[in-house]
Structure 1
Amino acid sequence: MRPSLDRIGPNFIDIWRWNLDQTEREIDRLFPILSGEERARASRFVYPEHRQRFIAGRAGLRLVLGHYLHLPPHRIGLSCNVFGKPRIAGASELLQFNLSHSADVAMLAISDHYPVGIDVEAIKPLKEDIAEHFFSKRECEALAAFRGDDYLHAFYRCWTRKEAFVKAHGAGLSLPLDSFDVTVDATSRPKLESLDGDQDAPLNWSLFDLATPTGFAGTLAALTLGNAVHLRYWNDDVLTLKASVAHPAHNDPRPHQSGGNRASPA
């Protein structure tokens, strides 16, 4: 039987955020939600902190997907496309999703209309000139106008915008990071400026700055085909979601919405 799905619709993309640092008791509660393969992966982590964050991340993903699909989280089959992008096995056309995590923060994007990619990064000092190795010439020239902390934040804006686009595009490492340009400034809406071999890409793709905790940068990319889309942030405690229940819009919703391509604080 195919799972049912409560509609999100073409005007919204849902954003969920949760903390990966949980108590040992909570991790023990979440562990059975994972698949056998995920449990095996968890057991291979050397450091307990990495294992616990992995479990909290995958359990949160499954709980949110179960919330939309009306399925127990442990019954959701997850697979990857040929480039490694995760999808729902056997029902990938029902729900598009993408998960990112950095340090103790996880963020998940959900849509039933658009391919999505999300990237969140903890802002840390750079040990080398990463931009010169991975960014396009146009992006490097734009970054050269920044100094000090302004440069650091501009770098992470650029990095998360590029990573989110690569994840949404779905081609993985086969899409070179210097084959497309994104904006790097903070004063205008984020934008894909060009993509080699696709002159219509800037019109078809949308980038959104995410509302992230202090000390983090984040971007959502989506193939919106020119449609006006708003981000909808959900306040629900992800790790306490009940499986196989209605979409949160049916249960005392407390979302925060953002307009256009700019995110409002959650």
Structure 2
Amino acid sequence: MMSRPSTRPSVSKTFPSLGPSDVHVWFCDLLHYAEDQRVLAALLSDDEQARAARFAFDRDRQRYILSHALLRLLLSRYTHKVAGQIRFSFGRHGKPAISGMSAAAEDIQFSLSHSGPYALVAVAKGRALGADVEVLKADVDALKLARRFFAHGESALMAKCEGEARRHLFYRFWTAKEAYLKGKGVGLSLGLDRFEVLFEGGSSLAQVRWTDSGAFDPGWHIRSLALLDHLAGAVAVQGEEWELHQLESTAYSLY
């Protein structure tokens, strides 16, 4: 059993329940848990610990350990299982899923993304989803990358912007596309130019349209997330009539 660090103040918020129409997106500030790295590392599987050991830099190793341990802690609350005993299976392109548990536990779908010292964990019941978070880089050549990898309509929109507006739009598209690909479980085997993300006016909601046929993917919707100023994030969710709940891990006692 994991002992609670004596230096961490207790948090009294009740862990939120997950209904069939709920989509929970957890924002995790990994540095908040840095002092507990050794304790949290013990939650990881042998394979995860071996992968962590292969990182060349301590910073990258720490971020991997903390993000994957927090994923386990969050999933343990939804599945009512011990965090260190959760097992995963992986799809053809690496999409993880809970395995070896009851049907109710395996019905919990999730997606993990981390960038820099931050992570996102998206969770839903009985519906596929994907999440992505990115730290905005100041030196990114946004238009060059968009013209190389994105659909023509997306790069054309970016060409109409300049400076910070162009950079933010690039990351808005990038995180939306990554979230969609992760949710479908196809990874980058499906080229980023094969589909176009269409935001509804100035809103955070978007649909996906295939560039070859012009047809929409009716089974998926994307929403950009409101995060810190230097971050971009998105969640892609399968199905209709879902409600997004953005949560912060530091507001709850996870261990």
TM-score with structure 1 setting the length: 0.81
Alpha-carbon distance between aligned partners in 2 of 1:121 and 1:191, rounded to the nearest angstrom? 18
2:232 pairs with 1:220: no
Matched-pair identity in %:
34
Partner of 1:95: 108
Contact 2:208 2:216 in 1 (8 A): no
Question: What do residues 150-205 of structure 1 show as CA deviations (whole Å, max 9, x unaligned)?
Answer: 1000111011111111111111122111110013687233312412568351x321
Partner of 1:85: 95
Decide which of 134, 155, 164 is 2:179's aligned counterpart.
164
Question: What do residues 89-123 of structure 1 show as CA deviations (whole Å, max 9, x unaligned)?
Answer: 23584111001111111011000121101011111
The structure 1 segments of at least 4 consecutive aligned residues displaced by more than 6 Å after TM superposition are none
Alpha-carbon distance between aligned partners in 1 of 2:253 and 2:51, rounded to the nearest angstrom? 23
Question: What do residues 12-60 of structure 1 show as CA deviations (whole Å, max 9, x unaligned)?
Answer: 1011111122565410111111111111111111111111111100100
Name stretches of at least 5 consecutive residues in structure 2 with no aligned partner: 1-15
Alpha-carbon distance between aligned partners in 2 of 1:160 and 1:134, rounded to the nearest angstrom? 13
The SS at the match of 1:150 is helix
Name stretches of at least 5 consecutive residues in structure 1 with no aligned partner: 1-5, 243-266
Change (3 A) 1:241 1:181: same
The SS at the match of 1:213 is coil
Change (3 A) 1:17 1:181: same
For residue 32 of structure 1, what is the amino acid of its counterpart? A
The SS at the match of 1:124 is coil
Decide which of 149, 154, 179 is 1:134's aligned counterpart.
149
2:239 pairs with 1:229: no
Partner of 2:215: 199
Partner of 1:124: 137
The count of residues paired between Structure 1 and Structure 2 equals 234
Partner of 2:83: 73
Change (3 A) 1:150 1:184: farther
In the TM superposition, 1:1-266 aligns within 5 A as 8-22=18-32, 25-91=35-101, 93-128=106-141, 129-183=144-198, 187-195=202-210, 196=212, 199-201=215-217, 203-224=218-239, 227-237=240-250, 240-242=253-255
The SS at the match of 2:166 is helix
TM-score with structure 2 setting the length: 0.84
Alpha-carbon distance between aligned partners in 2 of 1:220 and 1:24, rounded to the nearest angstrom? 26
Change (3 A) 1:22 1:41: farther
Change (3 A) 1:23 1:191: closer
More strand by share: 2
Alpha-carbon distance between aligned partners in 2 of 1:238 and 1:75, rounded to the nearest angstrom? 24
The two structures, once aligned, show a CA RMSD in angstroms of 2.3
